[in-house]
A = this chain, B = another copy of it.
Amino acid sequence: MKTTNIAALLTDFGALDPYVGIVKGVIKSLSPRASLIDLAHEILPQDVRSAAFHLMVSVPYFPDGTLFVAVVDPGVGSSRAVLYAETARHRYLAPDNGLLSWVFRKQPPRVLRSVENDALFLSPVSRTFQGRDVFAPVAGHLLGGMKSKRLGPPYQMKTRIPFPEPVRSKNKIQGEVLVVDRFGNLISNIGEREMRGRRLRVRVGRSKMLPLCPSYSEGPDKAPFVVRGSFGFLEVAVKNGNAAERLKACVGDELSAEVSS
């Protein structure tokens, strides 16, 4: 496949500590010309599901050949495998804990390997920071041009996180809040294309029915409303405000949509 010198990094390491910087130091030691892009590092500690969502919505916008290094890894130091994967357009390093499940919904993997060649790792490998000791040096070798065959043997992914598919009936669809973003927008699991009709209305938990608006700026003042979100899902927003706070809503809350045609 086509490769680039670009790696996109997704972790739960945060900005408080130098963990992300250390990972970059290791990568640059092995591949000085690597170009490193931060996808997100403020994922809640060990929140593999959020990481799976972030990756799913981000991946299509990156150059062909980009290497995604995703380390949200509550099983660090256990026997969970480290995965290398290739899809039609991109490359991935991640623990086998479901993190790649949602990105593979649209882009199934063509190559899957278990990363086992410890000659590529830092030595000794710690049991607590394999972002530094395993993922970073392997990424550095790959970005430096090493063939992926050298990583380890072909592998079958063991852990999947099922995507929470909404429950469909004729004019109604019952879903949930998948993610709350920094603006307080509630991003649902309901595909925006599924719900076409004269009048689309959404309810979060026991809220009133909320109207559909074409953009944030065209929403009503202060009251929550629905938009067709930029990731292909229905979203609930408040103009210049915070829908999560207004509706006291959070991840996992029921969100249902109705169409009258």
Task: List the B side residues contacting A58 at CB < 8 Å.
Answer: 18, 21-22, 25
Cα A80 to Cα B215 with chains together (Å):
12
Task: List the B side residues contacting A63 at CB < 8 Å.
Answer: 25, 28-29, 32
Is the CB–CB distance between B216 and A128 below 8 Å? yes
Is the CB–CB distance between A127 and B6 below 8 Å? no
> Which 8 A-B pairs have CB atoms at the shortest separation, nearest pair first?
A77-B215, A129-B230, A14-B182, A126-B230, A21-B39, A25-B62, A127-B215, A78-B217
A229 sits at the interface (CB 8 A): yes
Is the CB–CB distance between A39 and B18 below 8 Å? yes
Is the CB–CB distance between A54 and B18 below 8 Å? yes
A171 sits at the interface (CB 8 A): no
Is the CB–CB distance between B61 and A132 below 8 Å? yes
A-B contact pairs, 20 of them (CB 8 A): A6-B32, A8-B25, A15-B41, A15-B42, A18-B54, A19-B181, A21-B40, A22-B58, A25-B62, A25-B63, A25-B66, A28-B63, A29-B61, A32-B35, A46-B240, A74-B216, A74-B217, A77-B216, A126-B230, A127-B214
- Tell me how many chains of this kind the complex includes: 3
Instruction: Check A32/B18 contact, CB under 8 A, given A13-B182, A127-B227, A215-B76.
Output: no
Give chain A's interface residues, CB within 8 Å of chain B. Answer: 4, 6, 8, 10, 13-22, 24-26, 28-29, 32, 35-42, 45-46, 54, 57-58, 61-63, 66, 74-78, 80, 126-129, 132-133, 181-183, 214-218, 227-230, 235, 237, 239-240, 242
Cα A216 to Cα B77 with chains together (Å):
7
Cα A45 to Cα B244 with chains together (Å):
14
Is the CB–CB distance between B76 and A217 below 8 Å? yes
Is the CB–CB distance between B6 and A28 below 8 Å? yes
